[in-house]
Structure formats: structure tokens, C-alpha cells
Structure 1
Amino acid sequence: MPEQIAATLIQALPYIRIFAGKTIVIKYGGNAMIDEELKKAVMRDLVLMRLVGINPILVHGGGPEINEAMKKLGKEPEFVAGRRVTDAETMEIVEMVLTGKTNKSIVAHLNGEGVQAVGLSGKDANLLIATKDTDNGDIGFVGKIAHVNPEIIHTLTNGGYIPVISSVAVGADGQAYNVNADTAAAALAAALHAEKLILMTDVEGLYRDFSDKSSLVSELTASEARQWIADGIVDKGMIPKLEACASAVEDGVPRAHIIDGRRAHALLIELFTDTGIGTMVR
């Protein structure tokens, strides 16, 4: 047993060298945010990353919690091309849940694991500036990132903190916008010159045919990802994920990954093993 542990650490050593001092942007979502054991595994993965010199930046969603809060208030969630239709009342719910509840819960978990984490929304220090997203028609206060001001992130990571960011952005007029968390993570990864963007989800990765689990795609280019979206090979919630990966790579991030957050320690498997998991966009 001690020998196996030592062998695992030796296998990880080259990757620790590669990523030490580098920034990794992680979108945290799906079942890994709900299942308590998976949540604990993710928090410990982040702690280990921070302690070996990597700068993890965590961007989180909170779709199930938002849905639950909406239904309690008699509102039925509605989506268009993977984006939540967001009227004024829904925007208040989104901000309350993401910034007021989910964000601070994640921060508390990380602090409890022995690292220092700080919660932010896109409003803080004008981190995420957005304009209204009308690509899919008028679906309310849904935003697209127009600009990222990363100075606050540099200040926190230089001080040894893990930034935890909710995907609520702000417009030039002070209006709050609901931004898809995958989209926000991609914009942050590009602005921070991240080494990797990692999107955690509830599937193994990207499939050519979702009904055929043997059709998992391990790697594709950004242009191929765009073509898959145009051809309708992917739909619903996978569209913003694949768009985010393509956008990040086109904006200079060397690699973007969609990984299965249902696997315990999925982040460490992706970063520190020879095979990795999920789908990589390059």
C-alpha cells in the first residue's frame, strides 16, 4: 500500500511541475455540487491544487437550486438553447441563490478544508461586464460577457486565496445579468491567460451519439466543435459547454476540457494522470 501511494505521487510529479504557478479555471456544477461526498472530493482537489502551487479559479453554477427556488415562488423554469429565460423576478432569484447562498456555501466548505477562499460575483470590482444577449431572441436579463477586469483575481491569487465566482455579471448601467456559468468561465480563462479551462458536468464527455456510450469523443478542435453545434449534433445544455470550450481555445487558452463531475476526484484524474478523462478541445 505505501508503495502504491508513492508510485501514484511519482506519476503525478511531471504534471505538478507543468502546472505549478499556472492558472486553471474550473466551472463547478452538476451532481458534484449536490452529492455531499463528491462535493467534499472537489473541495479537497482544489486544496491540493493550491498547496502544490497551482492557482485554481472556481466559477460555479447553481441551476438545480435556482429551479427549486423558482418553483417555491410559483415560477416554472424555462430554457432556450441552454440559457435560462430570465425576467426581472427570476433575475432577483438567480442573484439571491447564486451570490447569497451557493457562493458562500462553497467558500465555507473550502475554508473548512484549511485554505482561504473568497467569494465574488461579477459585480465585485466590475469583474464581469455584460451586455444583453439577444442571440436567441429576447429571453430577458441574460447576458454575454463584454469585458473582464481580472485585477481582483490577481490580487487574491497572489495573496494565496482561492477565488470563488458566481456568474452574475453587471451591465454598464448597473443592471445585473444572468450569465451562463460555462460562458463566464471561458471568458475568465481567456482574460487570465489560464493554462486550462475545465468544465465539470454530469456526463462522461461529448458523444457523437448520446444513445451510444461507445461514441465518446476524447479530443476535437475548436473549429470541429463549432461545426458540431452548427450541424445540430449537440443540443440543450451541451451547447453552451461546447461553445465555451471553443471560445476559450480561440481566445488563447491551450486546452479546454469537459469532464464527468460524478467521478470522485475528477479534477485530479484530469490534471495528474497520463490518460485524463472526458473530452478535450484544442
Structure 2
Amino acid sequence: MASSSLDASSKANILAEALPYIQSFHSRTFVIKYGGNAMTDEALKAGFARDIALLQLVGMRPVIVHGGGPQITGLLERMGVKSEFRRGMRVTDAQTLEAVEMATAKINQEIVGLINRSGGKAVGLSGQDGRFIQARKLLLPPEAGETEPVDIGAVGEIERIDPEVINLLQSRSFVPVIMPIGVGTDGEVYNINADLVAGTLARSLDAEKLILMTNTPGVLNKAGKLIPSLTLSEVDGLVADGTLSGGMLPKIGSALDAVRAGVKSAHVIDGRVPNALLLELLTSEGIGTLIRPDGGPHFLTDSQRYFGDL
């Protein structure tokens, strides 16, 4: 009996710790880039959906952007098509674009279904819906030995995101779940990097936070240790000295652009950890790396100032 009472007491303390965060973030928008192992492991997928439902039910306004890299590659393999990448971006011909749309639509439906079964209210969207993600063809700038920009097919860069359809869904208490597909002025469909979509959407919605779920614990130093909190200037320093490189750079670039544009903070978290979202948002310790403005509060040591209006 004593053990059970202790367990119950611990659970009550956890809930009490979450209260100021729930109060502060009520009615605030969080844009969440959903990716990595959290999208492929069945238990993690179910846990993510429950976390989203809980955040919605306590009054927060999550918006989800998802990719689908492994699923797209798998579908192409079954179609007998080899995936090709240039500078980390998928070369997207007509057949590949068809696979991208098929795979991301299936993922979108699955996410929506899981959230709805967990007690939330989710709606799936493509950037083509209402033309709310407007894009143009992306050409990679020439590198050494190249004289012309590199055409990688139906890959787009964002011209503008119209937040009206998202605002409408949020006003009706729905969780938007968004495929990173954009549309050009000529009706051309483009595959867009999901990190880029999430960061741009966070800016368009004046979001409180941008959260990037990855397969790493967060931003690591050269010794491989997690860095819990960074300012914009500190991140720039890590890029300059080579600590940050490779596949982390697009995510970090998206985070930096969002925070510089007014999003209060960006978070890089480990989607392999069960309940990663709740641990990052509703506890003082968090589990990943928080990126904040140079003049912003340190969330681990200055939480009283951050929650000063409560």
C-alpha cells in the first residue's frame, strides 16, 4: 500500500508541475514537425497521437507537419524506382512525385485516424488545399565545376503560406495535419522539405513554438553531449566551427529563421523517446535542445520570468 501511495503521489506531483505550463500555453499555437522513428514505430505513433490529443484537450493548439522519407523510399523500391538525391534533396520526376503524394497521403490519413481515436479532433490537409502553400520550382545553385543551376525536378521552395485555412480549422478546435506539398501559380505540384514547411508555417501563424522531432537527442556538442539550451548567436557559432553539419543543418536553419521572425522558441527533440512532446513542453527539465532569441529568458533557470504573467 505504501508503494502504491508513493506512486500516486509522484503522479500528482507531475501533474502539479505541468499546471503553469498548461496555463501559460493555453490557446497558444505549436507547430510540430513530425518525423524520424516516431513515424515508423507503432508504439511511438500511438503515443504521439495521445500526446497531441492531450495537448488539444487542455487548450493548446498543435499544428502538425509531417514528411515521409522512409515510406516514400520504400514505395519507390516496390515500384522498381531507385531513389536519387542531390545535396540531400530527393530528385523528383513525375513517377517519384506520384509516389511522394501516395505515401504522404497514406501517412496523413494514419496520423489523423490515430489522433481522432485518441480523443482529439484532427483534419488532414495538403498544401494544395485552398492553395495555402504557394511554391515555385527550386533550382540548386551551381557548385564548383557546374555552370548552370541544378534542376532536381518537382521540388519546390515556398513563396507564401496563407494561414487562413489553418486559422479557420483552429477556430473550430481541429488539429491540422499537413502534407508538405505545394502548388505553383500554374497549378504545378511541388514536393517541399517538411522542415522548411514547418518553420515557415510557424512564422505565418505567429506560433509560440516550433518543435522538430528527430532521431537524435537534440543538438550535440563535439563530445556528443546534449546541449539543453542555445541562443541564436550560440547556434551560429556551432555552425561556423563545424559542430553542426550535414542533415541537421536544414532543421537548424528552419529553427533559426522561425525564432528570428518572432517565434518565441524552437525545440529539437528526440522522437524516439516515449511522450517526448509532453516531456519537452510540460516539464522544467525538457528532453531536447531549446533555441531562443539572444535576449530571451533561459527556460531552465529563469522560468519565473518566463511565466511572470501568471
Q: Please report the TM-score for the alignment, with normalisation by the length of structure 2.
A: 0.86
Query: In structure 2, what is the Cα distance between the partners aligned to 1:224 and 1:169?
Result: 33
Distance change >3 Å, CA 188–CA 160, structure 1 → 2: same
Larger radius of gyration: 2
Give per-residue Cα distances to partners, 1:145-196, cap 9 Å, x unaligned: 1101111111111111111001011111111111111110001100000000
* CA positional deviation for 1:242: 0.7
Specify the alignment match of 1:34 in structure 2.
40
Counterpart residue identity of residue 69, structure 2? G
Specify the alignment match of 2:120 in structure 1.
115
Q: How does 1:115-194 map to 2 (within 5 A)?
A: 115-136=120-141, 137-194=150-207
| 2:18 pairs with 1:5 | no
Query: In structure 2, what is the Cα distance between the partners aligned to 1:81 and 1:16?
Result: 41
| 2:236 pairs with 1:234 | no
Distance change >3 Å, CA 197–CA 230, structure 1 → 2: same
Work out whether residues 249 and 255 of structure 1, in 8 Å CA contact, stay in contact via their aligned partners in 2: yes
Query: In structure 2, what is the Cα distance between the partners aligned to 1:73 and 1:259?
Result: 33
Query: In structure 2, what is the Cα distance between the partners aligned to 1:174 and 1:144?
Result: 15
Work out whether residues 23 and 195 of structure 1, in 8 Å CA contact, stay in contact via their aligned partners in 2: yes
Work out whether residues 82 and 239 of structure 1, in 8 Å CA contact, stay in contact via their aligned partners in 2: no
* CA positional deviation for 1:223: 4.3
Query: In structure 1, what is the Cα distance between the partners aligned to 2:95 and 2:281?
Result: 40
Q: How does 1:7-86 map to 2 (within 5 A)?
A: 7-86=13-92
Query: In structure 2, what is the Cα distance between the partners aligned to 1:109 and 1:48?
Result: 13
Report how many residues are paired: 278
Query: In structure 1, what is the Cα distance between the partners aligned to 2:185 and 2:243?
Result: 36
2:272 to 262, 265, 269: 262
| 2:298 pairs with 1:271 | no
Work out whether residues 218 and 279 of structure 1, in 8 Å CA contact, stay in contact via their aligned partners in 2: yes
* CA positional deviation for 1:80: 3.0
* CA positional deviation for 1:110: 1.0
SS at match of 1:165: strand
1:219 to 219, 225, 229: 229
| 2:265 pairs with 1:252 | no
* CA positional deviation for 1:234: 3.0
What are structure 1's unaligned runs of at least 5 residues?
none
Query: In structure 2, what is the Cα distance between the partners aligned to 1:68 and 1:57?
Result: 26
Distance change >3 Å, CA 264–CA 85, structure 1 → 2: same
Work out whether residues 226 and 243 of structure 1, in 8 Å CA contact, stay in contact via their aligned partners in 2: no
* CA positional deviation for 1:21: 0.6
* CA positional deviation for 1:213: 2.5
Give per-residue Cα distances to partners, 1:199-241, cap 9 Å, x unaligned: 00111012233xx332x22222334434544554433321211
Counterpart residue identity of residue 32, structure 1? A
What are structure 2's unaligned runs of at least 5 residues?
1-6, 142-149, 293-310
Q: Please report the TM-score for the alignment, with normalisation by the length of structure 1.
A: 0.94
Query: In structure 1, what is the Cα distance between the partners aligned to 2:229 and 2:86?
Result: 27
Between the aligned residues of both structures, percent identity stands at 48
Distance change >3 Å, CA 225–CA 179, structure 1 → 2: farther
Query: In structure 1, what is the Cα distance between the partners aligned to 2:140 and 2:233?
Result: 20
